Amino acid sequence: MQRRHFILSMLSAGLAGPLRSITGQAKPVTIRSGQPLRALPKLLNQSKAPGVFEASLTAAPARLAVGAGQQTEFWAYNGIIPGPLIEATAGDRVRILFENRIPGQVSTIHWHGMPVPAAEDGNPMNPVASGSRHVYEFVLPADSAGSYWYHPHPHRLSAEQVYRGLAGAFIVNPKTDPLPRDIHHITAFITDLRLSATGAIPVDDMVDLMNGREGDHLLVNGQRNPVLTVAPGSTCRFRLFNATNARYLRLAFEDHEMTLIGTDGGYVETPVLGLREILLAPAERADVIVTFRPGAGRTVALQTLPYERGWMGGGKPPSQTLSLLTVRLAGAPIEAAALPTKLRKIEELGTPGAIKRLEFDEPTKVGGGMAMQFLINGKTFQMGRVDLTTKAGQVELWEVVNRTDMDHPFHLHGTQFQVTERERNGSKTMAPYLAWKDTVNIATAETVRFKVRQDMKGLRMYHCHILEHEDQGMMGLLDVT
Ligand code: C2O
Ligand code: CU
Ligand code: CU
């Protein structure tokens, strides 16, 4: 099957309703909430050598009790969801032995956002067969500290492997950290999960294939609305990860402003103060500081607010505010920590030597009805076909145009880029600060421009990070020569 067409008229005729109720929305499973937030278990470094991180990750079915009184079969890295937290230091050599024990499916591990050689990046061209092993090896460059993540990237199977539980955080720490030690560090790895009435994970339905799958249960570190207890006045650093297949997170802390200190590719130059909310499209990360004012109330919720991302056909989830995490203020008030004014130096990418234009295309008319195809520059992904080429070391300006009726998060492998401006309905907005990004949301009818330079040769993917769209071909190959 080369292309899959999804008939909008079928969806609007109500097919989505009955399909969805079979998958369990009618009788939702309950997941216990209000448990203390757990820290992500760390992947143990098995190497004794300094500057070497060595470990193994096995992807395999795992039965875990998530729903009240029920067991769910996930696919998990080392038996846990999310996968173990990998924490290494810039400059380290990383060696990870991957074993694929997913029955009947190839897999890979992709190091999302990390500057690793193309051959080590878990591309769909390098599948690891079910029942076999592969060693990924790379050196983390000196200035590569940031909040990354890892997930499978096999051809047409990424969405399923991720919604069944395969994803984890990969934090690269700087050799010397500009942040003071009295800041409380929290890693919040956000996923969403759909469970049928029997506690099983159902496959994607038509609505999911069209819009990307949104699970019914929002989870932070695998828990539903857990509780984090801190002293009033505490300064907390939250590394926030959107590891959902397709859900937009418009994040806000009740009555508290956030200070942005980092994006996908690590620290910004200077803290960005006074943010009421942050939009995290699928695959994006944000590193924020919040100081919980004494007397601000006994609890402060981290919420996700409604966001209109454009929806095709029926089955649209209700637009609502949901609580992700509850911060409980308890104990004697403490002094807020002071933030440095300078976090790092970001070299601005220079004058572009070339311009590339990428277009996310509109649905096309096929036969009698409307059909949805997920295209970039009029094409669906084809293994082995190079779509774009660039020279290693050359700065380019990319403009990504979204001509569809929904938002798509654009992601590029192999490097980090610098967004320069956004354009919508003829009005341009300059990027408010310099930051390293590997994923950027392109809203409907919007054009986003960014500067980018690839430093390593090889084949790199670029794609929409709504994983169902990626699997259906909203992806291309860039050859860096
Ligand atoms: Cu997070 Cu190509 O992927
Ligand atoms: Cu990636
Ligand atoms: Cu998309």
Going by pLDDT thresholds of 50, 70 and 90, the confidence category of residue 67 is confident
Give the list of residues 6+ apart from residue 427 with CB closer than 8 angstroms, or none: none
Say yes or no to pLDDT of 397 above 90. yes
Say yes or no to pLDDT of 6 above 60. no
The conformation of residue 116, written as its DSSP 8-state character, comes to -
Averaged pLDDT for residues 436-464: 98
Q: How far apart are CA 433 and CA 270, in angstroms?
A: 9
pLDDT at 26: 47
Question: If you take atom 3 of ligand 1, which residue's CA is the nearest one?
Answer: 112
pLDDT at 127: 98
pLDDT at 366: 57
Cα–Cα–Cα angle for 345, 347, 348, nearest 5°? 130
Query: Distance from the CA of 156 to the center of ligand 3, in angstroms?
Result: 14
Going by pLDDT thresholds of 50, 70 and 90, the confidence category of residue 295 is confident
Going by pLDDT thresholds of 50, 70 and 90, the confidence category of residue 18 is very low
Averaged pLDDT for residues 143-161: 98
Within 6 Å (CB) of ligand 1, which residues are found? 110, 112, 151, 153, 283, 411, 413, 461, 463, 465
Structural element, H or E, at residue 161: helix 158-163
> How do residues 199-242 score in pLDDT, each as one tens digit?
999 999 999 999 999 999 999 999 999 999 999 999 999 999 99
pLDDT at 19: 45
Averaged pLDDT for residues 272-295: 96
Give the list of residues 6+ apart from residue 284 with CB closer than 8 angstroms, or none: 242, 263, 264, 409, 437, 439, 440, 441
pLDDT at 38: 96
Closest ligand (CA of 473): 3
pLDDT at 30: 86
Say yes or no to pLDDT of 380 above 80. yes
pLDDT at 372: 73
Q: How far apart are CA 459 and CA 481, in angstroms?
A: 9
Mean residue pLDDT of the chain comes to 93
> How do residues 409-438 score in pLDDT, each as one tens digit?
999 999 999 999 999 999 999 999 999 999
Averaged pLDDT for residues 268-278: 98
Atom of ligand 1 nearest to the CA of 462: 2
Averaged pLDDT for residues 67-93: 95
pLDDT at 126: 98
pLDDT at 51: 98
Closest ligand (CA of 113): 2
Q: How many CA atoms lie within 13 A of 437 on its CB side?
A: 22
Closest ligand (CA of 470): 3
Say yes or no to pLDDT of 133 above 70. yes
Averaged pLDDT for residues 26-43: 88
Amino acid identity of residue 217, one-letter, is H
Q: Are 199 and 249 in contact (CB under 8 A)?
A: no
Q: Please, which residues have CB less than 5 A from ligand 2, an ion?
A: 112, 413
Cα–Cα–Cα angle for 61, 64, 65, nearest 5°? 155
Query: Distance from the CA of 109 to the center of ligand 2, in angstroms?
Result: 10
pLDDT at 479: 98
418-424 β-sheet, strand order: 354-360, 395-402, 446-453, 418-424, 427-430
Query: Distance from the CA of 320 to the center of ligand 1, in angstroms?
Result: 28
